[in-house]
Structure 1
Amino acid sequence: MLDATDAALVAALQRDGRVSFQELAVQTGISREAARARVTRLLERREVRVVGIVAPDVLGLGALAHVSVEVAGDSAVVARALAGRDAVMFLSRTAGRRQLVADMRARDAAALDGELTAIRAVPGVRGIEVFRCVELVKDAYSSAGPEVPPRSSAAAPPDDRDRALLALLQRDGRMSYTDLAERVGLSQAATRARVLRLIESRAVHVTGLVASAAVGVREAAGIGLGVDGAAAPVARAAAALEGVNFVMTGHGRFDLVCGVDAPDRGRLLDTLERLRALRGVVRSESWVHLEIAKEDYAQISPV
Structure 2
Amino acid sequence: MPDSSPEASPGHRDAAAGSLQESDLALIEALQHSPRAPWSQIGPALGVDATSVARRWHRLVGQGLAWLTAYPSASTTSFAYVDVRCRPNTVDEVTRHLCALPQVLSVEEVTGDFDLLLTVAAPTPAALAALVRRDLPTAPGVEATAIHLGLRLYQEGSGWRMRALDRQQRSLLVPPQRPTRRSLTGATADAALIAALGRDGRRSHQELARDLGVSEATVRRRLQRLMETRSVHFRCDFAQGAAGWPLTATYRIDLPADRLTAAARALGLMPEVRLCSAVSGTAGFLVIAWLRTTEDVTGFEAHMCEQLPDLRVLDRTVTLITAKRMGRLLDPHGRAVGHVPWDDLSTTL
Superposition TM-score tier, normalisation by shorter sequence: 0.7 to 0.9
- Asked if 1:299 is matched to 2:329, the reply is no
Question: How far does the alpha carbon of each residue in 1:133-161 deviate from its partner, in whole angstroms, 9 at most, with x for none?
Answer: 21111111369xxxxx9x96832235444
Q: Contact 2:81–2:119 at 8 Å: present in 1 too?
A: yes
Q: Where do residues 4-19 of structure 1 align in structure 2 (5 Å cutoff)?
A: 4-19=22-37
Question: How far does the alpha carbon of each residue in 1:55-87 deviate from its partner, in whole angstroms, 9 at most, with x for none?
Answer: 2444xx23x221112222122222222223332
SS at match of 1:69: strand
TM-score (norm 2): 0.76
2: CA distance, partners of 1:29 / 1:286: 42
Match of 1:71 in 2: 86
Match of 2:11 in 1: none
1: CA distance, partners of 2:186 / 2:98: 30
2: CA distance, partners of 1:41 / 1:24: 16
SS at match of 2:343: coil
Q: Contact 1:66–1:104 at 8 Å: present in 2 too?
A: yes
Match of 1:146 in 2: none
2: CA distance, partners of 1:290 / 1:197: 39
Instruction: Report the CA distance between 1:229 and its aligned residue.
Output: 5.3
SS at match of 2:282: coil
- Asked if 1:35 is matched to 2:53, the reply is yes
Instruction: Report the CA distance between 1:185 and its aligned residue.
Output: 2.9
Query: AA paired with 2:219?
Result: T
- Asked if 1:253 is matched to 2:293, the reply is no
Query: AA paired with 1:204?
Result: V
2: CA distance, partners of 1:281 / 1:155: 35
Q: Contact 1:94–1:289 at 8 Å: present in 2 too?
A: yes
SS at match of 2:315: strand
Match of 1:238 in 2: 267
TM-score (norm 1): 0.87
2: CA distance, partners of 1:112 / 1:153: 28
Of 238, 246, 258, the residue aligned with 1:218 is 246
1: CA distance, partners of 2:125 / 2:183: 24
Match of 2:303 in 1: 274
1: CA distance, partners of 2:226 / 2:157: 20
Between 89-98 and 73-82, the greater mean CA deviation after superposition:
73-82
Change (3 A) 1:267 1:161: same
Q: Where do residues 42-121 of structure 1 align in structure 2 (5 Å cutoff)?
A: 42-58=60-76, 61-62=77-78, 64-74=79-89, 75-117=91-133, 118-121=135-138
2: CA distance, partners of 1:109 / 1:158: 14
Question: How far does the alpha carbon of each residue in 1:94-137 deviate from its partner, in whole angstroms, 9 at most, with x for none?
Answer: 11221111111234443333222322223332222222221111
Change (3 A) 1:142 1:124: same
2: CA distance, partners of 1:180 / 1:123: 37
Match of 1:134 in 2: 151
Change (3 A) 1:173 1:250: same
Identity over aligned pairs, percent: 23
Change (3 A) 1:121 1:207: closer
Q: Which segments of 5 or more consecutive residues in structure 1 lack a partner in the other structure?
A: 144-148
Instruction: Report the CA distance between 1:14 and its aligned residue.
Output: 1.5
Instruction: Report the CA distance between 1:43 and its aligned residue.
Output: 1.3
Query: AA paired with 1:269?
Result: T
